[in-house]
Structure 1
């Protein structure tokens, strides 16, 4: 349904009007409510299956990648599990790094501000 506006304004859909009024709601079916705007995420998601960023384990279809040795097995089955003084390897490049992606550290630092 479109509501025709006066003069040179474009028609406004009823969905847009509802969104504008949604934050003004104080009560719904006798219950007090308060609408809040969407919050910025405090960190980006890291998949515990493939160790990449931007998605989570339950939606991942990639092969397993160990967080300790970057080999193709789940981290819980790693032969290095429980050993001391091991350097975690980058899951993408298989080099000794703390972060899977150095760019991700910059993104996290920006989100913390």
Structure 2
């Protein structure tokens, strides 16, 4: 389910992977199986949050979530959230934080998350 204006914060003891995406962005949707694989492989050690970005119609986002079985947390980006994330100019855009909420990498792909977590955990 897509939550509007939700506050994002790192989960203690877990890495947090934010994935900015849009229903209009085919490369974003193409990453879904890789994100699901991360979720399956890293389970309790990785908190995944989808951040729906520049969506004109919330129903389109909700449909994409259902159709693509995006069963991780989903939030609708608002101006404050995007400003805090550094106003990314592109999607898909992944952002990885460590267990203490410190930025590990901005613009990270699911494959890079897998490599980083495999060497860190």
Normalised to the residue count of structure 1, the TM-score between the two structures is 0.23
- Work out which structure has the larger RCO, using CA pairs closer than 8 Å and 6 or more positions apart in sequence: 2
Larger fraction in strand: 2
Normalised to the residue count of structure 2, the TM-score between the two structures is 0.22
Larger fraction in helix: 2
| Max Rg structure | 1
